[in-house]
């Protein structure tokens, strides 16, 4: 047995054990069936278990066991004690008040001068808080895994460290594809520089950023998402990560767009109605003014339409309007706008189109309508007025000039194209 240095007295050793942070329990080596009896417990052990020293001495450590105590761990412990071997393990023990707690054991045999095991010393460490933290982490992981909202976690430099299955489903990218990248690969080009400048400014200032993002799916289509990006701070209050909670809004955005389209479309022809046409006209007007591009406008009116209704009935007149609408749509570019401006009057909006080209387009429309047979009512014709936006002109002035050109076409005998100039 190793001798105790003279500088360390038994009293000092006792004080060291008594004041130790870890729990210390000493038992004798009494064999089964009763097993070892507790001879000593330090203050840390009493605090951990809730028992006083007087309540522990003379008892077996079995008073600490309960329903959740792992029987396999106990069997291994008993086998080590029988073999006189060191034991290390962990399981659940119970406090005096019945509360379970996790404990890690190190139990060593103490031998006498003849080498016989006479006592056991157990050094224990409670780690219920650690287990609780691990359980909480596991619970959080499982919650994120089943969340319908996508969750993305990046480091302070924006490098992705975590993405949940909902992120995969929403974006089409597998987690393995995005780890180590920044979210920039999702950019669709729908947002301008000011949008991202606002985002970065908020995050640098430590503020959450919330907005509706238009991102690009792995397959190429754009999806819309409500996203909140929040900074995460460590114990020293320094920013360590960013967490993004992302909710797919694509279905809602499409529904809202459908409602807007429904409010902007003519029920009979499927073309823009007057409200939708005015909105489109304003957007193209602003683009033409800002970009300096030419902008043409056509107003067309079905000749003698009242006579068609009076002679063949309004249902027949409605079918004429529908066929004219389809023909107009077929005659123009995909970028042009076709509007049922009112009654039997139609508007064609021609961005990036000078007056000469607009006149040629109007003539093609007139000729196409004239030569297209109309069941029920026979041939029909259009009168058309054409104008180009002048420098400094308002939309109202442009429409007025185009309408006067249409009136002139009717005055000259109908089935013709007249220019506002």
Active site residues: 344
Residues 6+ apart with CB under 8 A from 281: 337, 339, 347, 349, 395, 399
What single DSSP character describes residue 147? -
421 vs 418: CA distance, rounded Å: 9
- The rounded distance, in Å, linking the Cα atoms of 233 and 211 is 22
CA distances from 32 to 29, 36, 58, 79, 172 (A): 9, 8, 15, 12, 63
Distance CA 32, CA 268 (A): 96
* CA–CA dist 72, 94 (Å, integer): 17
Per the CB < 8 A criterion, the answer to whether 76 and 87 are in contact is yes
Task: Find out whether 389 and 294 touch, Cβ atoms under 8 Å.
Answer: yes
Residues 6+ apart with CB under 8 A from 35: 60, 61, 62
Q: Which residue has the tokens 């105790």?
A: 4
Residue 112 tokens, joined:
């006498």
CA distance 218 to 120: 63
Q: Is the dihedral of CA 62, 67, 71, 73 positive or negative?
A: negative
The vertex-383 CA angle with 379 and 384, nearest 5°, equals 135
Q: What 8-state DSSP symbol labels residue 5?
A: P
Distance CA 157, CA 242 (A): 9
Task: Please check whether residue 199 is in contact with residue 211, taking contact to mean a CB–CB distance below 8 angstroms.
Answer: yes
């Amino acid at each position: 047995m190793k001798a105790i240095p003279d500088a360390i007295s038994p009293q000092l050793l006792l004080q060291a054990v008594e004041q130790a942070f870890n729990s210390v329990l000493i038992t004798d080596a009494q064999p089964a069936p009763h097993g070892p009896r507790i001879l000593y417990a330090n203050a840390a052990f009493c605090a951990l278990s809730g028992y006083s020293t007087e309540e522990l001495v003379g008892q077996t450590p079995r008073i600490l066991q309960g329903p959740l105590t792992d029987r396999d761990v106990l069997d291994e412990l008993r086998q080590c004690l029988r073999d006189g071997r060191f034991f290390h393990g962990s399981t659940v023990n119970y406090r005096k008040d019945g509360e379970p707690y996790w404990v890690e054991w190190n139990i060593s045999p103490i031998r006498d001068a003849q080498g016989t095991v006479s006592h056991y010393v157990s050094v224990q460490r409670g780690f219920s808080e650690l287990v609780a933290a691990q359980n909480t982490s596991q619970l959080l992981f499982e919650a994120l895994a089943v969340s319908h909202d996508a969750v993305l976690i990046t480091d302070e430099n924006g490098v992705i460290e975590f993405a949940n299955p909902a992120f995969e489903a929403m974006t089409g990218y597998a987690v393995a594809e995005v780890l180590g990248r920044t979210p920039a690969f999702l950019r669709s080009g729908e947002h301008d520089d000011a949008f991202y400048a606002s985002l970065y400014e908020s995050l640098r200032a430590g503020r959450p950023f919330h907005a509706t993002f238009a991102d690009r799916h792995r397959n190429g289509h754009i999806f819309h998402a409500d996203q909140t990006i929040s900074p995460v701070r460590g114990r020293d209050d320094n920013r360590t990560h960013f967490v993004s909670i992302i909710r797919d809004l694509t279905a809602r955005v499409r529904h809202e767009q459908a409602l807007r389209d429904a409010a902007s479309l003519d029920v009979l022809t499927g073309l823009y109605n007057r409200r939708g046409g005015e909105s489109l006209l304003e957007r193209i007007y602003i683009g033409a003014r800002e970009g300096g591009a030419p902008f043409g406008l056509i107003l067309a009116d079905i000749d003698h339409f009242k006579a068609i209704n009076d002679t063949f009935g309004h249902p027949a007149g409605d079918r004429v309007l529908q066929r004219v609408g389809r023909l107009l749509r077929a005659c123009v570019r995909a970028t042009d706008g076709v509007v049922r401006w009112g009654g039997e009057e139609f508007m064609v909006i021609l961005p990036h189109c000078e007056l000469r080209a607009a006149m040629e387009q109007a003539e093609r429309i007139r000729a196409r309508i004239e030569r297209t047979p109309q069941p029920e009512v026979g041939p029909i014709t259009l009168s058309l007025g054409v104008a180009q936006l002048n420098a400094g002109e308002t939309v109202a002035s442009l429409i007025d000039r185009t309408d006067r050109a249409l009136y002139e076409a009717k005055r000259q005998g109908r089935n013709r194209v007249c220019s506002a100039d």
